[in-house]
With several copies, the nearest count.
Chain A
Amino acid sequence: MPGIDDFTRPVEYLSPLDRSLGEIVRSWAEKEVLPYRREYDEDWEEHRLIEPAFDRLMGELGLQRVLFPEEVGGWGLGHSDYLGTGSYRMFEEIARADSAMAVAFGVVFWPLIMICNEPHVNMRLCEEFAPMFIETNKAVFTANAMTEPQGGADIENMDLLGGSTIETCAILEGDEWVINGHKLWPTNSAGVADLFGVVCTTSPGSTDPEEFAFIFVPADTEGVTQGKPYQKAGMAADKNSDIWFENVRVPSWYRACGPGDDFKYFKEIISLGSMGTIAFVSGAMMNIYEILREFCEEKTFRGRPLKENDDVAGVLADFVRDLEVIRVIGYQAARMMDRPDLYGDRWSEEMVAKTRAFKYFAADKAVENVGLVMNLMGAHGSDRVRDVEKHWRDLKIVQLWMGGKQLCQMEVARWFFDCETL
């Protein structure tokens, strides 16, 4: 009888680590998350249940180390040919249990991309930051402080606005950056992260890519203040808050790649973030598939199991069809991240546009399908014991982050149709 492992993946693309990464994460999820996740909604402020599970996965099992180069104690994923597909597998397996945990985990690597990935490894910073992730068996988080109060997704809309709307300002004073600004919404804020990657401008209002700066700031630096977590429709394991930077001082070499390159490689954060998002989507959908199998065998309509009703079967077919499609394009996106030699640079406009396209496709389809699944389940759809309603709430959030759907559309149209003003 087919199960979640029978959905198509392009087997040619899989990393040599695929099987072991999959097994580690799946068995962790079965033991540490699935039995407890129904209580997570009430745990959104405290993370009393959520934190120990993270400690196990990231600290004890060590998955928070994978991106760093081997030289500093990491697993070298950042300069391997399996950055994409390896991450995809981990993210998907975590998201099957809880997509908020998947994003909290995935975001650990998000700022680190800037210093761990070829061809822009910053070994000095790798050496400086690796120990905090490696010399511990506790989960250690990072956060990407991008969004600001005034403009929402404007920061990610780099091609149109070129960083001109960034108000968080970094001024070089001697050997130090002095940072002032106000950020909103980063995953792993509200006190979770120990290290921030902060999107700054060195000259407010400028569209010069050289003025765009990506600077690391340890969370305990003086002048960094974090707010309380926001309450959201779902995703309890992903804490978000305001962050204020007030005359925060960090060493000048905490800038990730330097003038011009920060701007250039920051787009890799977009393409990899989009790729990761697809993995969150397919992971959650795989779990819904498992739930649906059970539900549609157990419940009856006209005296027969739901799955034997052709109309119900139509909904089920559309669901697995779209999951098949999402997974195939997810792995294709991951492969494109793995092999820039074949598909183009991860930070190219083409890769940004294409991964955005795949991302918003996956998220849209998931939201649509899960909505239909809930209707199919009738009163059981909104009942927390079935877990589908949880995925429904979470997937909506997955759909909306990184600038939401409309920004994806504009970036896709801009590249494929050569638009100038979107």
Chain B
Amino acid sequence: MKYQEIFPVPCEWVQDIDESMVETVARWGEQEVVSGRLEHTEDYDKLLLPAIHKLFCDIGLQSMLWPEESGGGGLETAEVAMTVAVALEQVGTADTSIGFLFANTFAVQSTFAVEPHRNEELLAELAPVFCGDDVAVGSLVLPGYGGSNAAAREEFYGLPYQVSAERHGEGWALSGEAVRPQCSGKNAAVFAVAFDAGDGGPAVALLGEGAKRLSSGEPIKKTGLAASLNADLDLKGVEVGGGRVVLTGEDRFREMLSFYYMSCAATILGSLLAAYEILKEWGNTRVIKGKGQVFKENPLDAALMGRAASRIATSRVLTYTLARMLSRPDIYGPAGSQGMFNTATATFKQVAGAAMLSMNNAMEMMASAGYATEWNLERYWRDVKTIEGTVIPETAAWAMLARHYFGCRTL
């Protein structure tokens, strides 16, 4: 494994399939991304999309949960969580924004394609989408802050759903204006939209790209995440059948989020490792104080490097441990339990925080090379910051954790 030796992980948990995944994705990163990554921020069509296509379709990340006979990877159980984690670590190293697309895609798929929730009907129905030769990104539509745009008064841990739902036969009609998906509002193949199902609690329904009465607005300009062509959605009573409602209930909703947070943590971990390489290179080659000192031999810079290394080492252990916990519900209980969900939240917040701190420090050390596009570092910094805020607003994260660990009732 690429960084295995220098930053130890609980390697006893990593299986052969994971190791070969790492190898494949690392090679993809070298060949498809790193070689031309400077340009990627600018040209989605010419540069990013081909790399995504290679990863999602040719290597097959988007179809790994489908049966081999449909052209998928044949992974069915929660053990896939570890495979996803190690893959995303590599993807995130190459291009964090592509990692974020796959984190979303996996979280969407986890609701119907991972045991014990495998839904053969849906798998068959969506096989043409995810096992085909077109990139198929899944994108979550989660509760967010309320305000003039909020469609519903119901909340998930204080955050209103962006979409309101009315019963429509066996299914629902979904409505919402200026609904912001996590990614790829312009071009996701499937949106997994959270809404309130009344007594059933939170629910998630899958909407396809071409769903009637679903439209997307202008592309959003944002700090980072070049691979995500995001845009707000308008849902004007979009009808969705009961079979497309992939989950209901808090436990199932938390389970989806646990997988999502883990995937995002792994993506960010990859970013951190990329930043490590950039900083290491800088530290080895830069000379300061006249010609007196190789950068890394300066005690102040080295101390910051030491701290960064420490955060990487611990972030890595945490991410792998979370992946393990999610991959073995037989040992650790369901991914949607309060405990697992909160561990996932804590891990995501910890890893994202550690990454931002380390990247900020790295930029401070590299000074103008830190913010010049040419050295690549600033791109990871923008991407991680965007993920950190987009996945969950800070306030909601801590309130959730307090609720669980301190028994708060009104938060």
Partners in one complex: yes
Is there a chain B Cβ closer than 8 Å to A230's Cβ?
Answer: yes
Q: B302 contacts which chain A residues (CB < 8 A)?
A: 311
Q: Is the CB of A404 within 8 A of B364?
A: yes
Q: B150 contacts which chain A residues (CB < 8 A)?
A: 300
Whether A300 contacts B289 in the complex (CB less than 8 A), given A232-B371, A377-B393, A399-B364, comes out as no
Whether A392 contacts B153 in the complex (CB less than 8 A), given A233-B381, A301-B159, A380-B145, comes out as no
In A109-164, the 8 Å CB interface with B consists of 147, 150-154, 157, 160-161, 164
Which of B222, B360, B374 meets A382, CB within 8 Å? B222
Is there a chain B Cβ closer than 8 Å to A397's Cβ?
Answer: yes
- In the assembled complex, how far is the CB of residue B367 from the closest CB belonging to chain A, in whole angstroms? 4
Q: Is the CB of A378 within 8 A of B390?
A: yes
In A347-382, the 8 Å CB interface with B consists of 367, 371-372, 374-382
- In the assembled complex, how far is the CB of residue B31 from the closest CB belonging to chain A, in whole angstroms? 24
Whether A301 contacts B145 in the complex (CB less than 8 A), given A230-B374, A311-B303, A379-B389, comes out as yes
In this complex, how many residues of chain A approach chain B with their Cβ under 8 Å: the count is 64
Whether A152 contacts B363 in the complex (CB less than 8 A), given A298-B147, A301-B146, A379-B389, comes out as no
Q: Is the CB of A375 within 8 A of B372?
A: no
Is there a chain B Cβ closer than 8 Å to A335's Cβ?
Answer: no
- In the assembled complex, how far is the CB of residue B311 from the closest CB belonging to chain A, in whole angstroms? 16
Which of A299, A397, A409 meets B300, CB within 8 Å? A409
- Most B CB within 10 A of own CB, among A157, A378, A400: A378
Whether A367 contacts B145 in the complex (CB less than 8 A), given A310-B299, A310-B300, comes out as no
The A-B contact count (CB < 8 A) is 176
Is there a chain B Cβ closer than 8 Å to A411's Cβ?
Answer: no
Q: Which residue of B lies closest to A150 (CB)?
A: B287
Is there a chain A Cβ closer than 8 Å to B370's Cβ?
Answer: yes
Q: B299 contacts which chain A residues (CB < 8 A)?
A: 309-312
In B201-255, the 8 Å CB interface with A consists of 220-225
Q: Is the CB of B290 within 8 A of A311?
A: no
Q: Is the CB of A151 within 8 A of B382?
A: no
Q: B368 contacts which chain A residues (CB < 8 A)?
A: 147, 152, 184-185, 240, 400-401
Q: Is the CB of A231 within 8 A of B301?
A: no
- Most B CB within 10 A of own CB, among A153, A165, A311, A404: A311
Q: Is the CB of B371 within 8 A of A405?
A: no
Cα-based distance from A184 to B299 in the complex (angstroms): 26
Q: Is the CB of A231 within 8 A of B373?
A: yes
Q: Which residue of B lies closest to A372 (CB)?
A: B394
- In the assembled complex, how far is the CB of residue B11 from the closest CB belonging to chain A, in whole angstroms? 32
- In the assembled complex, how far is the CB of residue A232 from the closest CB belonging to chain B, in whole angstroms? 5
Q: A399 contacts which chain B residues (CB < 8 A)?
A: 364
Cα-based distance from A380 to B180 in the complex (angstroms): 10
- Which stretch from B79-87, B272-280, B395-403 is at the chain A interface? B395-403
Q: Is the CB of A384 within 8 A of B364?
A: no
Cα-based distance from A389 to B220 in the complex (angstroms): 13
Q: Which residue of B lies closest to A360 (CB)?
A: B364
Which of B145, B221, B373, B410 meets A378, CB within 8 Å? B145
Q: Which residue of A lies closest to B220 (CB)?
A: A383
Q: Is the CB of A400 within 8 A of B371?
A: yes
Cα-based distance from A375 to B357 in the complex (angstroms): 13
Q: Which residue of B lies closest to A164 (CB)?
A: B290
- In the assembled complex, how far is the CB of residue A312 from the closest CB belonging to chain B, in whole angstroms? 6
Q: Which residue of A lies closest to B297 (CB)?
A: A310
Is there a chain B Cβ closer than 8 Å to A27's Cβ?
Answer: no
Is there a chain B Cβ closer than 8 Å to A17's Cβ?
Answer: no
Q: Which residue of A lies closest to B356 (CB)?
A: A371
Is there a chain B Cβ closer than 8 Å to A8's Cβ?
Answer: no
Is there a chain A Cβ closer than 8 Å to B117's Cβ?
Answer: no
Q: Which residue of A lies closest to B295 (CB)?
A: A152
- In the assembled complex, how far is the CB of residue B143 from the closest CB belonging to chain A, in whole angstroms? 10
Q: Is the CB of B371 within 8 A of A300?
A: no
Q: Which residue of A lies closest to B377 (CB)?
A: A233
Q: Is the CB of A396 within 8 A of B394?
A: no
What residues make up the interface of B, taking CB atoms closer than 8 Å to A? 144-148, 150, 153, 155, 158-160, 180, 182, 220-225, 286-291, 298-303, 356, 360, 363-365, 367-368, 370-374, 378, 381-382, 385-386, 388-390, 392-396, 398-399, 410-411
23 contacts between A and B (CB under 8 A): A38-B221, A152-B368, A157-B289, A185-B368, A230-B374, A233-B381, A299-B147, A300-B147, A300-B160, A303-B153, A311-B395, A367-B360, A375-B389, A378-B392, A378-B393, A380-B389, A381-B223, A382-B390, A384-B221, A393-B223, A400-B364, A400-B368, A406-B301
Q: A154-B288, A301-B158, A314-B300 are in contact. List 10 more A-B contacts (CB 8 A).
A: A151-B288, A185-B368, A233-B378, A300-B145, A310-B300, A372-B394, A380-B145, A385-B220, A397-B371, A400-B368
